């Protein structure tokens, strides 16, 4: 399982003062299947979004590949 966030190029709107959209994706590498996408709120980041995605998809207890941003003690204890 891999989880990674991406900023979508061209999704910002300078006229309405809207920042570029940031999405988090979960990917099952062995089956090459995208399990889900989650939009990350402007005032948030990937860490709580990844924890919510793991819980929502029922993937607690699985092994994940994540960026260095997720090297937090509490990521392993997510619900």
pLDDT in tens, 14-50: 666 667 888 999 999 888 999 999 999 888 888 888 8
Q: Contact, 35 vs 62, CB < 8 A?
A: no
CA distance 76 to 47: 11
Domain that holds residue 45: 2-77
Mean pLDDT of 4-13: 80
SS3 content of the chain, % helix, strand, coil (to 5): 25, 30, 45
> Does the predicted TM-score (pTM) go above 0.85?
no
What pLDDT is attached to residue 33?
A: 93
Q: Contact, 1 vs 61, CB < 8 A?
A: no
Number of domains into which the chain is organized: 1
CA distance 76 to 64: 10
What pLDDT is attached to residue 68?
A: 77
What pLDDT is attached to residue 26?
A: 92
């Amino acid at each position: 399982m891999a989880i990674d966030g991406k900023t979508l190029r061209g999704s910002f709107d300078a006229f309405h003062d809207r920042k570029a959209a940031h999405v988090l994706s979960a990917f099952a590498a062995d089956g090459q299947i995208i399990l889900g996408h989650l939009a990350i709120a402007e005032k948030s980041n990937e860490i709580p979004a990844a924890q919510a995605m793991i819980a929502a998809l029922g993937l607690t207890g699985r092994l994940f590949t994540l960026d260095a941003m997720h090297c937090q003690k509490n990521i392993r204890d997510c619900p």
